[in-house]
């Protein structure tokens, strides 16, 4: 193979920029990378592998000769433009929620269900960031002991809501600092309420039953990825004033007994997972140390004595990397390895 022609839709966004740097870091076999974004960014340059690439406007005609298209420009753009990319002969890895629950579309975390890629029809969906980091850890426990129920609460960074939300937290923190703590309450634009020095139990929109769409995505996507349609999953998703990396408190009830020691041993051997669990040294996963790194970190693994066969744990990962851009590039690498992606 002489190298692939790779398009990145949404290349100027928080996830898109990460996609470009991960493609280059991992020496992805790209002969050419085409950054696409909205007309706002047309003609600007963006760094890739030590060079500057000129951003082109995303259009239906952007995919001539493209082998692989990574999409991260929001669901509306994926619905509008991914079919054009497929028609032009590209395989699409889509980071939005647009196609995830489509039964024709594989929803893939390579460490968990790479086999699902074999049935793809041109579009592969990249799961929600909070779901990805949870299933990477739960899969080995599921295989060993079965899972009866999952209860998860998330502590999600602002980078998940895009570059504009990162800018908003920075603005609010700086405004509070310059007012000596006694200034006006910070103004909220990107999120429903101020996020600096606050926690917001709302990510994405509210649905009829009182859940948010983010909570619903965690339930539905976990079931689809694990191939466990009826699995009881209960999720509460919270935005916290962290710039990058999502944290999760996970309570899991297994079908068969599983000790914390056994769980630690399984997870120490699992692909993509790093165990940091040494309370005597005050060692546990944290957003600040996970940010900029690839693994899913797990710690605080302990028995929950309030239920039978129950464990508690704390899971942290970089939501822009394993939660989005890295997982998408790993999907593309798996496609190449499985001979499911060929240069046009």
Q: How far is the CB of 173 from ligand L14 (least distance, A)?
A: 18
What backbone torsions phi and psi does residue 194 show, to the nearest 5 degrees? -55, 140
What is d(CA 104, CA 100) in angstroms, rounded to the nearest whole number? 9
CB of 319 to ligand 25A, least distance (A): 7
320: DSSP letter: T
- Which of 88, 94, 81, 84 is closest to 120 using CA atoms? 94
Instruction: Find the shortest distance in angstroms from Cβ 210 to ligand 25A.
Output: 22
Q: By CB under 6 A, name the binding residues for ligand L14.
A: 97, 128-129, 156, 160-161, 203, 214, 217
On whether the CB atoms of residues 241 and 198 are closer than 8 A, the answer is: yes
Q: Is 60 a catalytic residue?
A: no
**Cβ atoms of 295 and 323 closer than 8 Å:** no
Determine, following the binding rule CB under 6 A, whether residue 19 of this chain makes contact with ligand 25A: no
- Asked if 341 contacts 335 with a C-beta cutoff of 8 angstroms, the reply is yes
Closest approach of ligand 25A to the CB of residue 311, in Å: 29
Q: Which stretch binds ligand 25A (CB under 6 A): 24-32, 34-42, 61-69, 146-154?
A: 34-42
Task: Tell me the HSE value of 250 on the side-chain side, using a 13 A CA sphere.
Answer: 28
Of the candidate residues 21, 24, 26, 38, the single one contacting ligand 25A (CB under 6 A): 38
d(CA 28, CA 53): 17
Least distance (Å) between residue 230 CB and ligand 25A: 27
The interface partner of residue 13, options being ligand L14, ligand 25A, none and the CB cut-off 5 to 8 Å by kind, is ligand 25A
Q: Are 146 and 259 in contact (CB under 8 A)?
A: no
Binding mask 115-154 toward ligand 25A (x if CB under 6 A, else -) reads: ----------------------------------------
The listed partner (ligand L14, ligand 25A, none) that binds 164, CB under 5 to 8 Å by sort, is ligand 25A
Token pair, residue 113, equals 């269900």
Give the helix ranges, DSSP H, for 179-238. 213-226
Spot the catalytic one: 120, 193, 237, 246.
246
CB-based burial of residue 251 (10 Å sphere; 0-12 exposed, 13-18 middle, 19+ buried)? middle
Q: Is the dihedral of CA 318, 264, 110, 76 positive or negative?
A: negative
- Is the CB of residue 234 less than 8 Å from the CB of residue 222? no
**Residues of span 164-183 touching ligand 25A by CB under 6 A:** 164
- Judge whether 120 counts as a catalytic residue: no
Answer with the entry of ligand L14, ligand 25A, none that 214 interacts with (C-beta below 5 to 8 A by kind).
ligand L14
By CB under 6 A, which span of 22-30, 73-81, 226-234, 277-285 interacts with ligand 25A? 73-81
The residue (of 16 and 186) whose beta carbon lies closer to ligand 25A is 16
When the beta carbons of 99 and 314 are compared against ligand L14, the nearer one is: 99
Which residues are part of the catalytic machinery?
A: 129, 246
Residues in touch with ligand 25A (CB under 6 A): 10-17, 37-38, 40-41, 58, 72-77, 95-96, 160, 162-164, 324
């Amino acid at each position: 193979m002489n190298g692939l022609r790779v398009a990145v839709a949404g290349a100027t966004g928080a996830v898109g920029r990460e996609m470009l740097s991960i493609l280059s870091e991992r020496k992805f076999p790209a002969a050419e990378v085409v950054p696409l974004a909205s007309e706002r960014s047309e003609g600007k340059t963006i760094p890739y592998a030590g060079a500057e690439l000129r951003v082109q406007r995303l259009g239906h005609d952007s995919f001539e000769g493209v082998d692989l298209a990574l999409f991260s420009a929001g669901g509306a753009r994926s619905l509008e433009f991914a079919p054009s990319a497929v028609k032009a002969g590209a395989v699409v890895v889509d980071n939005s929620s647009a196609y995830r629950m489509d039964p024709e579309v594989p929803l893939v975390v390579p460490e968990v269900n790479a086999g699902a890629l074999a049935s793809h029809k041109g579009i592969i969906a990249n799961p929600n960031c909070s779901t990805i980091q949870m299933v990477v850890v739960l899969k080995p426990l599921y295989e060993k002991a079965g899972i009866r129920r999952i209860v998860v609460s998330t502590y999600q960074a602002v980078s998940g809501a895009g570059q504009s939300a990162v800018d908003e937290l920075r603005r609010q923190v700086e405004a509070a600092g310059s007012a000596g703590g006694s200034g006006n309450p910070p103004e909220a634009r990107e999120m429903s309420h101020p996020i600096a020095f606050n926690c917001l139990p709302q990510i994405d929109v509210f649905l009829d039953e009182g859940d948010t769409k983010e909570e619903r995505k965690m339930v539905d996507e976990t079931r689809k990825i694990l191939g466990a349609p009826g699995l009881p999953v209960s999720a509460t998703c919270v935005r916290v004033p962290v710039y990058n990396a999502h944290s999760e408190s996970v309570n899991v009830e297994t079908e068969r007994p599983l000790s914390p020691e056994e769980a630690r041993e399984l997870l120490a051997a699992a692909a993509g997972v790093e165990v940091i669990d040494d309370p005597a040294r005050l060692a546990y996963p944290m957003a600040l140390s996970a940010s900029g790194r690839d693994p899913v970190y797990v710690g605080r693994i302990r028995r929950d004595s309030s239920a039978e066969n129950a464990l508690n744990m704390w899971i942290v990962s970089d939501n822009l990397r394993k939660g989005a851009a890295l997982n998408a590039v790993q999907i593309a690498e798996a496609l190449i390895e499985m001979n499911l992606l060929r240069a046009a």
